[in-house]
Amino acid sequence: MTQRLHLVFGGELVDPSKNVFKDVSDLHIVGIFPNYETAYNAWKAEAHRTVDNAHMRYFIAHLHKLRDEESETSSTEELG
């Protein structure tokens, strides 16, 4: 069975209309989740918790898309 990992993270943006973080060293890593449903629930909880700050944004990154499980090595492994 293929595992589809998702990373939930967020932080304060420079401008709410763009996806540029004010300080990447201050990102909030919520966690890595085994499926989209649990990642979405974590994202939603953090988004609701910070709803009063228009500059705060949380995102779901699809970590499983960084790897091509059909290939012997993925393009990300070749960077090292």
Residue at 36 is within a domain = yes
pTM to 2 decimals? Answer: 0.78
Q: Residue 43: give its domain's CATH number.
A: 3.30.70.2400
Mean pLDDT to the nearest integer, 20-28: 96
Residue at 1 is within a domain = no
Residue at 58 is within a domain = yes
Residue at 15 is within a domain = yes
What total of structural domains would you count in the chain?
Answer: 1
For residue 71, what are the domain limits? 6-79
| Confidence bin at 65 (pLDDT 50/70/90) | confident
Distance in angstroms (rounded) separating the CA atoms of residues 14 and 72: 40
Residue 6, CB half-sphere, CA atoms under 13 Å: how many? 15
Residue at 55 is within a domain = yes
